[in-house]
Structure formats: structure tokens, C-alpha cells
Amino acid sequence: MDLTKPAVGIIGSGSWATAMIKMLEDNKTDKSVYWWVRNRETADYIRTYRHNPNYLSAVTVKIPKRHIHSDVRSVIGHASIVMLNTPAAFLKDALKGVTPEMLEGKIVVSAIKGIIPDENQIVGDFLQERYGIPIERIAVISGPCHAEEVSLEKLSYLTVASQDTDAATRVAAVIGNRYIKTIVSDDIYGTEYAAVLKNIYAVAGGICHGIGFGDNFQAVLVSNAIREMAHFVNAVHPIERDIKESAYLGDLLVTAYSQFSRNRTFGTMIGKGYSVRSAQLEMNMVAEGYYASNGIQQICTKLGIELPICQAVYQVLYRNASPATEMRLLAEKLT
Ligand SMILES: NC(=O)C1=CN([C@@H]2O[C@H](COP(=O)(O)OP(=O)(O)OC[C@H]3O[C@@H](n4cnc5c(N)ncnc54)[C@H](O)[C@@H]3O)[C@@H](O)[C@H]2O)C=CC1
Ligand SMILES: O=C(CO)COP(=O)(O)O
């Protein structure tokens, strides 16, 4: 292995992982890119046709065929920077067979915006606890950036957060390109929690849209959501931060309003009367806000934090509350 040149391993093969492969290929830094594609037939298809058949299939994959593996350990073995891009609910499954020793000395980056179910942990905490990775070697990638727009090379901004600025800068150096601008931050906890919460708020926005609330109400919902987000992140990780920065407010806005948002789409279906299961089946993509809703509810109960919007979404998704009744009750609390 050439130790002077970064080797990036992408773990996952959904929309975000495919967009990340494109981003890395369009970045001019000298590096190698490896890709873990779970399903063998999909991996074969990508090697043969140079496109992911299931997600962002217009993107041409240019990395060498021999860099695409269905054994996650091969990709991790080659990588100095490991980027996790699966939905949070599948991360444990994706890392099956990976030991803490295999991750030693590497920078591990989470591009995931979700909570690990059962553990109710953000990915950074999970990596520290399960794999003993020191916090300085963990980074997160976040910010308002839909995979679909990356595939179209639309100008986008990503925040790379780590308590070690050098680690964040090294990660930013391999993802930035002509259409991806990078911002480095030291607020790893605030950035991760904000990304988890904004998905729940986008589900709330979708539910309200689905039951017939208009744009006037959505604006009030989003302005309450950003205050609720600030309240939570300041409670769990109180440092000085500006909640109006793009990793917090920006990501909330794009997820609440974009036509591409999985979470908003999922919420809209719930508001229109779909069951959770039928909305999930309809999408073929993961709305992290569904899992996050339960995780954040448990964390709030443990810490004694009140988040009215998140609690309303939890009642609808997990307690079978009527979306219309629950959102009308919520509307009484908004200011
Ligand atoms: N799509 C986007 O625009 C963005 C997504 N993210 C985050 O990236 C993460 C991944 O999301 P997407 O790529 O959008 O997901 P997706 O919904 O496009 O893809 C789902 C992925 O899960 C995989 N999968 C299904 N069952 C599995 C299993 N049992 N084990 C392992 N993998 C399994 C599928 O093969 C597929 O790769 C999420 O946390 C999301 O919030 C972050 C920024 C942008
Ligand atoms: O995080 C995202 C954009 O920044 C993606 O959000 P959705 O999962 O709702 O599409």
C-alpha cells in the first residue's frame, strides 16, 4: 500500500454512497477509491456496466473494477479513510465480521444521518463504544446535499466535522471538487444530532402537507423546528455554535422543502393515510426520520428534554395517533 496517498473506502451502495463515489472521482487529489457493494450481483453489474442499477443509475462509475468488493473487510483493509454510507439501521449488518483491530489507525467517517436502532446512539458514539475508535479519528459529513443534485453536479456545500481539525481537513480534501464546497467544523456532536433531528422535522412537514396544511403553516413549523433543534443540541453538547450555519439550518431547510427529500415524501404519505409499512414499501429508499423518531424519543425521556414536534411525530409513527389530531394539537403549541 502506498502510505503517502489516501485510500478511501466507501461502505454502502445506496443513493448517497453512489453520489459519494462520483464526488470522489471528480476530486483531483491523488488517491485510490474502494467500494463495498453488499449484493454480489449488483457488484458484478457495476463492474460490467459501470452504473449502479438501483440508485442514481445515470452516474458513471470510473473506479477500477478490482476496487469493487462484496467483502467489507477487503475494502476496509485497503482504506486509510473509511466512509460509512449505509442507512443507520443497516450499519451493524454492514460491519459484520469487522473487528476493532481492522479499523485501527484509520479515520472513520460517518455520512449517515440516523440513529442506530436498539442502541439509540448516533454513529459517532456507536463507533467509540463498539469499536473503541478514539473521537479524534471520527468525522462526520453533513450539510444540505441531496444525492440526486450531486449526480447532476449542482453546486452543494458539505460540512466535515471532527474534534481533530486535521482529520476533518484530510477528509474535506478528498471530497471537495468543482461542484462540492467543503466547510470544516469541530462540532461533531451538534452536527450529527442536527442531521438526525432535521429528518424528523421533515417527516413532520410532510405529514402536515399530507393532511392539507399550507405553506404559511410550514414556515411556522420550520421556524419552531430550528429552535427545538437548538434546544436539544445545546442540552446534549453545550458549546458555542451558530444554529443558522448550513450544517444545522441549511440541512433542515433542504430536507423540509426539497422535492428529493425521502423524509418529507414519507411524511406526506403518512399524512395522506398510508400506514408506515406501506409508505416504506412504496419508497425503495430509507427515510431515516422514522427510526430517528423512536431513538430521539428514548433519549429525550432519559434526559428529561421536551421536544414537541419530535414527540408529535413519535405519537403518529409509533403510537398510532391520528396525524390530523396530533398535528392540530401540535399547532396549538407552536409560536
Ligand atoms: N440520499 C441522500 O441524498 C443523502 C443521504 N444521506 C444519508 O446517507 C445514509 C444512506 O442513505 P441513502 O444512500 O439515501 O439510502 P438509500 O435509501 O438510497 O439506500 C438504501 C441502502 O440500504 C441498503 N440496504 C438495504 N438492506 C440492507 C441490509 N440488510 N444491510 C445493508 N444494507 C442494506 C440498500 O442496498 C441500499 O444500499 C442515510 O443515513 C441518509 O440519511 C445523507 C445525505 C444525503
Ligand atoms: O440529508 C439529506 C439532504 O441533506 C437527505 O435527506 P432525505 O433523506 O430526506 O432525502
pTM of the model: 0.97
Residue 205 and residue 228 in one domain: yes
Task: Note the ligand closest to the C-alpha atom of 53.
Answer: 1
In a domain, 2, yes or no: no
How close is the Cα of 2 to the center of ligand 1, in Å? 30
Domain span at 88: 7-186
Report the CATH number that the domain containing residue 74 is assigned in CATH. 3.40.50.720
pLDDT string in tens for the chain (335-residue length): 566 799 999 999 999 999 999 999 999 999 999 999 999 999 999 999 999 999 999 999 999 999 999 999 999 999 999 999 999 999 999 999 999 999 999 999 999 999 999 999 999 999 999 999 999 999 999 999 999 999 999 999 999 999 999 999 999 999 999 999 999 999 999 999 999 999 999 999 999 999 999 999 999 999 999 999 999 999 999 999 999 999 999 999 999 999 999 999 999 999 999 999 999 999 988 999 999 999 999 999 999 999 999 999 999 999 999 999 999 999 999 99
- Asked whether residue 116 is assigned to any structural domain, the reply reads yes
- Look at residues 143, 170, 186 and tell me which one is the last residue of a structural domain: 186
| Same domain assignment for residues 153 and 272 | no
Q: Are 143 and 181 within one domain?
A: yes
- pLDDT score recorded for residue 95: 98
List of E strands, the chain: 7-11, 32-36, 68-69, 81-84, 107-110, 115-116, 121-122, 138-142, 156-161, 180-185
142 lines ligand 1 (CB under 6 A): no
Is residue 25 located within the same domain as residue 112? yes
What was the pLDDT predicted at 333? 98
Look at the chain and report how many structural domains it folds into: 2
Is residue 198 annotated as part of the catalytic site, yes or no?
A: yes
What pLDDT, in 10s, does the model give residues 69-113? 999 999 999 999 999 999 999 999 999 999 999 999 999 999 999
**Atom 10 in ligand 2: which residue has the minimum CA distance?**
261
Q: For residue 310, is it within any domain?
A: yes
Check whether residue 229 and residue 159 sit in a common domain: no
pLDDT of residue 2: 60
Instruction: Using DSSP, state whether 109 is helix, strand or coil.
Output: strand
Q: Is residue 115 part of a domain?
A: yes
In a domain, 15, yes or no: yes
Task: From 186, 201, 235, give the residue that closes a domain.
Answer: 186
In this structure, are strands 121-122 and 115-116 parallel, antiparallel, or unpaired? antiparallel
Please identify, among 186, 204, 221, the residue that sits at the C-terminal boundary of a domain. 186
Whether residues 224 and 167 fall in one domain: no
| Co-location of 257 and 147 in the same domain | no
Q: Which of 28, 65, 198, 272 is catalytic?
A: 198
Residue 1 lies in a domain: no
Distance of CA 335 to the CA centre of its chain: 29
160 lines ligand 1 (CB under 6 A): no
From residue 162, alpha-carbon distances to 11, 134, 191 in Å are 19, 11, 9
24 and 121 within one domain: yes
Measured in Å, residue 5 CA sits from the centre of ligand 2 at: 31
Same domain flag for 174 and 203: no
Q: Are residues 254 and 146 part of one domain? A: no
Predicted local distance difference test score (pLDDT) of residue 1: 55
Residue 205 within a domain: yes
Ligand 2: does its nearest atom lie under 6 Å from the Cβ of 263? Answer: yes
Measure the CA angle with vertex 69, ends 125 and 74; round to 5°. 60
The reply to whether 262 and 280 lie within a common domain is yes
Q: Let me know if residue 304 belongs to a domain.
A: yes
Q: Does residue 223 sit in the same domain as residue 104?
A: no
- Looking up residue 209, the CATH number of its domain turns out to be 1.10.1040.10
pLDDT tens digit sequence for 241-286: 999 999 999 999 999 999 999 999 999 999 999 999 999 999 988 9
